[in-house]
């Protein structure tokens, strides 16, 4: 039997750790195939010896987080997968590291191992490619880091772009001016900015040109210095478009390219996405980092991870 001392935890933190009606403890029991009894200490019975070290590390992390945020079922699952991955990485970035405080003064932290790896990769490289399923925080974290660098005066502006045509539809046939035509495609970028800065400050920075949100086609011919540049939905680029974008990199600039290879919407002439092609041919260049997100990194509802897996399994049949 394993005993964990809880005497240093305040009553409110202990309630947070256990969850409503001990729901968090029940999840831990399921994950580690054991029985947990909550008294003055935690008593853990029938715990496999091989899992004991993981359990201790997992519980230690949760006990460090209880006074910082609410421990939901999602958080239990996220930290479980992350610590198993982190065990293989000596340079693991802690899930406790705060990247930025948003407009509501809420701390933004990596939620999974690969999210922590994504943050570290972007910080260490001038160009980063991030590939993986929807919901893994690829674009969101890139925007968070961009705003963090802007606020710290490490860059002078932020440029956000994505392919404006996602299903063979021409912008010329859509109503309105350029902004009205492309804004629906760029809403995920606006949403992330609003959360980081608030509506008024975001719009003010856009008006001043400090933050620029444009379709990919309007990147041609430019060289961007002192900028943090994000290309979202890059799976829908051609090889030619990707080459054009990558060569926009100027002095003291950082690029992040994100996309989901499973959601290619364009009928590409050569059958290959510019994102997939770039990840293949640029993988061994110093200064370029590549991160592959997994289903386990999906940070929406934990059922989304299971749904994604089932669809992938069905497609393989």
Beta strands (DSSP E) in 106-246 are: 107-108, 127-131, 157-162, 211-215, 227-231
Measuring CA to CA, which residue among 29, 110, 73 is closest to residue 301? 73
Average pLDDT over residues 289-304: 80
Query: How far, in Å, CA of 14 to CA of 16, rounded?
Result: 5
Q: What is the pLDDT of residues 37-48, one digit of tens each?
A: 887 788 888 888
Task: Please tell me the predicted confidence (pLDDT) of residue 61.
Answer: 82
Percent of the chain with pLDDT over 70: 85
Task: Please tell me the predicted confidence (pLDDT) of residue 93.
Answer: 58
State which H helix or E strand residue 143 sits in.
helix 138-151
Structural domains of the chain, ranges and CATH numbers in brackets: 2-86 (3.30.1370.10), 100-298+308-316 (3.40.50.300)
Q: What is the pLDDT of residues 82-136, one digit of tens each?
A: 676 666 455 455 666 888 888 888 888 888 888 888 999 999 999 999 999 888 9
Question: What Rg do the C-alpha atoms of the chain give, in angstroms?
Answer: 22
Average pLDDT over residues 188-208: 91
State which H helix or E strand residue 199 sits in.
helix 199-208
Can you say how many angstroms the Cα of residue 10 is from the centroid of all Cα atoms in its chain? 32
Average pLDDT over residues 245-266: 91
**In contact, 268 and 238? CB cutoff 8 Å:** yes
State which H helix or E strand residue 198 sits in.
none
Q: What is the pLDDT of residues 62-84, one digit of tens each?
A: 888 887 778 888 788 878 876 76
Give me the residue label for tokens 């600039």: 253
């Amino acid at each position: 039997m394993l005993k964990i001392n809880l005497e240093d935890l305040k009553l409110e933190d202990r309630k947070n750790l256990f969850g409503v009606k001990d729901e968090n403890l029940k999840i831990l029991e399921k994950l580690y195939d054991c029985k947990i009894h909550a008294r003055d200490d935690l008593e853990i019975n029938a715990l496999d010896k091989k899992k004991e070290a993981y359990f201790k590390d997992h519980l230690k992390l949760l006990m460090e987080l209880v006074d910082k945020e609410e421990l939901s079922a999602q958080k239990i699952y996220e930290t479980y997968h992350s610590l198993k991955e982190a065990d293989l990485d000596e340079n693991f970035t802690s899930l406790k590291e705060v990247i930025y405080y948003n407009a509501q003064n809420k701390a933004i932290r990596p939620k999974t191992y690969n999210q922590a790896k994504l943050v570290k990769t972007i910080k260490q490289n001038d160009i980063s490619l991030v590939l993986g399923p929807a919901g893994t925080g690829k674009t969101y974290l890139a925007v968070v880091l961009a705003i963090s660098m802007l606020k710290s005066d490490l860059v002078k502006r932020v440029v956000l772009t994505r392919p404006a045509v996602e299903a063979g539809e021409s912008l010329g046939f859509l109503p309105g001016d350029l902004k009205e035509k492309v804004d629906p495609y760029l809403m995920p970028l606006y949403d992330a900015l609003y959360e980081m800065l608030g509506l008024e400050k975001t719009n003010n920075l856009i008006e001043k040109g400090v933050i620029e949100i444009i379709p990919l086609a309007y990147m041609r011919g430019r060289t961007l210095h002192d900028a943090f540049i994000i290309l979202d939905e890059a799976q829908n680029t051609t090889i030619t478009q990707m080459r054009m974008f990558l060569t926009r990199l100027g002095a003291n600039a950082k690029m992040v390219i994100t996309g989901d290879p499973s959601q290619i919407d364009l009928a590409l002439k050569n059958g290959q996405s510019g994102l997939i092609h770039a990840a293949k041919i640029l993988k061994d260049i110093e200064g370029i980092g590549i991160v592959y997100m997994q289903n386990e990194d999906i940070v929406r509802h934990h059922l989304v991870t299971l749904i994604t897996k089932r669809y992938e399994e069905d497609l393989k049949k």
